[in-house]
Amino acid sequence: MSTIEIPVRHIASVWREYAQRDGVTDPAVELLAREVYPGYPSWGYRPAFRVPGTDLVVEIVSSQPHPSYAQALQWIEWMLERLHDNGNIQLHREAS
């Protein structure tokens, strides 16, 4: 599995490049969190997502890691919803 690390400010563009197909988020995208230093959970977690059909994981780097897996996962879910709300990404098909 390969991992790329991106700064928070690039989430929308990287999401559109890797996680969207035909302008809509691929339902197979997996949201997750990764230990900053594998084997040392006390150092914190970074939000991430796994791209469907590849071995690519995109890890989001910010100035401060999240203290738990659940908090990192909650953050990425929240951030993606905000990016969807302001039109930067498309999470699902809009009802016509």
Give the residue extent of every domain in the chain. Answer: 13-31+43-90
Which residues, given as ranges, of the chain have pLDDT below 70?
93-96
Res 55: pLDDT = 80
Cα separation of 59 and 45, whole Å? 10
Question: Is residue 26 within 8 Å of residue 80, measured between CB atoms?
Answer: no
Antiparallel, parallel or unpaired: β 45-50 and 56-61: antiparallel
Q: How many Cα neighbours within 13 Å face the side chain of 2?
A: 4
Non-local CB neighbours of 14 within 8 Å, separated by 6+ positions = 6, 58
